[in-house]
Amino acid sequence: MRIAYLRQIFPLNSTTFLMEEVASLIAAGHEVRVFADLCNFEGLHEKVIETGLFDYIRYPRPAWTWRERVTGALRFAAKLGVQPRFRRQYTRNLLRDPRRDLGRLRAAGGGALAELPDFVADALRLGNLSLALRQRTLAATSFEPDVIHCPFLYPWEARTIEALRARFPGTPVTIALRALDLHRDPRHDHEHAIRLAALSRASRLITISRYNRDHIQHADHLASLDPALRDPARVPIVHSAIDTRLFAPDPHIAKLPNQIACVARFTPMKGLHYLVLACALLAERGVDIRCVIIGDGDLRGALAALIAQRGLAARIRVIPSATQRQVREVLAHSEVFVLPCLPLFNGDRDILPNSVKEAMAMELPVVTSDTSGIDELVVDGQSGLLVPPGQPLALADAIERLLGDPGLRQRLGRAAREVVVRDFDTRGESRKLTEVFADVIANAHR
């Protein structure tokens, strides 16, 4: 089937599950186009290159005025002149085989010259020559989707749904609601109306957990939707998934005593300051704790200050960015994984975090917060340990319990991998998603 995906920024390292999902659909033989507004080259995920995802991403160009074009060109020239990193990024090949795109231009002959202004505009906007080259090929290729899928619903996605519906009338739309796009308090959502309008015209709503499905059914701000859209029997659950073949235990990598790991963006809902406080408590108890935190974000400075204030610089190591394989190596060396997430006042929250799934797939016992339906992934005492959110003392107690009991770590770790392989593997969840698409497409043609 032909599937159009909508995502404002793609690829984006904080949504690796979406890259896995798209790559899995392509590998299964489906024709996929991702319509995106922006690309992010920061710490570019190796799987993006390995699977050739850039070959399938369309970055439609906005209608720039001549003033905007000139301003963009001047800014681009300034960056190109003074930033070596930007120059390397600009000339880096991101395609599996750019020769086919060059061949198309050669075959176009004189017509290729007519494409030059658009090619230059795309190169300026995207900051990469190979991507600009691919955009010209995709622009010249016919693609009429059987289904339009929106894996998140924020204002850009809501507006783009309407644009694609106008371009491909009658094409069914599916929308997945995950975290803030579902739980955001309408009082803090200035664009709630446009998102609600997009929801009301969807053919099917999808979500990633039973907790979310219950919320869809009972949330006051969704009460105006067609009851059939909110019927639990008609809201399929397709989990955000991981590659359990990559994230698998490696018996050849030795564990480092008392090392705990955390992988997270440095945002308030990850609760990383509680992890630092828990490490301080453990150090005070005489536990020779070692903590590796992989991640970055707006709170990096505040977290570094707290680590220094608590005298933990020798015990807590922060790695700003890492590839999937580097993350896997850190997890393989660690004895416990910790993610003390918590819901925020604006509705943002972690729903079955993927970093927890990756650790569980590595047979690593996890300690995480008992919030937001986490028990669908981690059952306390069976596949991990749950603690109340925002409680560093309880967090420290759970970590110490695991570090002191190798048998418990092994039992919880093995059960954890069984859960993830059964319910959260990319291949299985992608099959579930295609079944939803097939049903929606069939209904649209009745």
User: What is the average per-residue pLDDT within 213-231?
Assistant: 88
Report d(CA 310, CA 323) in Å as an integer. 29
What tens digit of pLDDT does each residue of 130-186 get?
A: 898 898 888 888 999 999 999 999 999 999 999 999 999 999 999 999 998 999 877
| Residue (of 211, 249, 205) closest to 229 by Cα position | 205
Report d(CA 137, CA 141) in Å as an integer. 6
Q: What integer pLDDT is reported at residue 283 of this predicted model? A: 98
Helix (H) or strand (E) holding 86: helix 84-91
Residue 65 has what DSSP assignment?
-
Q: What integer pLDDT is reported at residue 360 of this predicted model? A: 98
User: What is the average per-residue pLDDT within 34-48?
Assistant: 82
Which residues, in sequence order, are bridge partners of residue 175? 150, 205
pLDDT at 237 over 70: yes
Lowest mean pLDDT among 188-202, 287-301, 415-429: 188-202
Place of tokens 């995106």: 36
What tens digit of pLDDT does each residue of 355-387 get?
A: 999 999 999 999 999 999 999 999 999 999 999
Longest dimension (CA), the chain: 76
CATH numbers and ranges of domains, the chain: 2-239+430-440 (3.40.50.2000), 259-424 (3.40.50.2000)
CB 409 within 8 A of CB 402: yes
